[in-house]
Chain A
């Protein structure tokens, strides 16, 4: 029950991001969440989209360097301390978070958090132990 994330290499050149978003628009691909990690020369754009396979195909055809990664999605009550519980649950089991980003769930008072960890299974176990709900793709994309 992992979430598929698509990552695209974006050279730090004027208009490069627009090239990417244009493709998604033209192919009718919906972005649920995104984040971008940037360095001096380039960025890595990470997205959760509603059709990962199509997005990968289309980006490759257009000459982009892409990769798909399985990340862990978590449902978090939208209250102070909600995210802290997640972080503590993982930390206490010695699990490090490589990166993370969040978006609001269509469910009321709920947020979705994406985390990248080294061992998805261990992370899911740690979260289950703390009674934290995992996110599945269907829920992630429900409107």
Chain B
């Protein structure tokens, strides 16, 4: 499989890649300055003009973009193209129930699909293979991302989405899919269900799988490989940039190759925002040099990782990123859903209660669980358990509605949660990744 890749750019020389990046950055900066008032203002504020950006090295002159900018301009305020050119909209969960909305033109979809296709190709998928997509289909980029990627490279897609695990397993058996794509957690649910059904995973033609959308460790990888009898590969994306395919592992599994001809990566110090040298751990920043609808410039992902430009043993010259170490903010991913402690706080406050809370995240039967411990208070205490339970139910329902994921509410003694002068430790994550 060495030197086999889908797009020629994956094995191009670093000079050729730089040329492509410089050209695309110039075009992108023009587009942003002329079509996106937000970026024109940002540029004008620091006296920066599009012509000041000549090569990819000038990128450090450009100001950063953060998630709040997307929220402030919800839903289409940062778009660089007119409505008629938008063919698709994706979204992810955001705080206070507001989603992060990302628009795509036909060209954007094609380029994203190409990236997802490169990924599938990199783990050995070929047109005669069948790809079983068990990521959710909908506003979430996972399902449609891998779906279009598989179609792009001519493989057969089985658009199974999530749920109805027994039927999924029946399809895996009947259709004889070779590749599966889902979250690591769901992979283990499938494995468990197979075991219950008495099905031997070794008898299935599944050879490989792409797992992502949530953090997972090496031990999780070994677990998935053992229980599903396949090779488990890492894939990365974030809805603000593009779905899965922004970067992907090749068969060598020494980091994920970034489609840097479309998504230019930088590593910066999360505090000073200074670019860091190759090999340093820092915050991953992406500039969308291949996007028309929403070409974000120097978008801070909050993921912590490091880059290497050394040529990979697979033959690819595309830069590789390590699996993200953590997040520089306090976002959690629970069962694939982005959850911020501030959302929990918001729910508690909206019900007229003091936000004395702590979030405990656990892993039970391969699924993430979230328990929100809230201190019992004057306005909650009742002689009647029925009334307390009613309040718990209301809180739970409000959490589900705002967060998009269910949380158990656990009432604890007043003043029993730790108080601190500094930042409160709002989250106890017991999951051992």
Contact = CB atoms under 8 A, between A and B. Distances in A.
Q: Is A bound to B?
A: yes
A7 B385 CA distance: 10
Q: Decide if the interface of chain B is mainly helix, strand, loop or mixed.
A: loop
B411 A42 contact: yes
Contact of B384 (A11, A65, A99): A99
Contact of A98 (B378, B381, B386, B389): B386
Interface in A29-52: 37, 39, 41-42, 44, 46
A60 to B, nearest CB: 9
A45 to B, nearest CB: 10
Contact of B413 (A5, A37, A65, A67): A65
User: Interface size for chain B: under 10, 10 to 19, 20 to 34, or 35 or more residues?
Assistant: 10 to 19
A65 B412 contact: no
Name, among B378, B380, B413, B416, the residue most crowded by chain A CB atoms within 10 Å (CB to CB).
Answer: B413
A11 B388 contact: no
Contacts, number: 53
B176 to A, nearest CB: 46
Given A39-B389, A44-B388, A65-B376, A11 B413 contact: yes
Contact of B381 (A41, A63, A65): A65
B218 interface: no
A37 B389 CA distance: 12
B382 interface: yes
Contact of A41 (B378, B384, B386, B411): B411
Contacts of A44: 382-385, 388
Given A65-B376, A65-B381, A116-B384, A41 B413 contact: no
A69 interface: yes
Nearest to A36: B385
A46 B413 contact: no
B392 to A, nearest CB: 9
A67 B411 CA distance: 16
A64 interface: yes
A65 B389 CA distance: 16
Nearest to B385: A37
B93 to A, nearest CB: 28
Nearest to A71: B383
Interface of A: 5, 7, 9, 11, 13, 16, 37, 39, 41-42, 44, 46, 63-67, 69, 98-99, 116
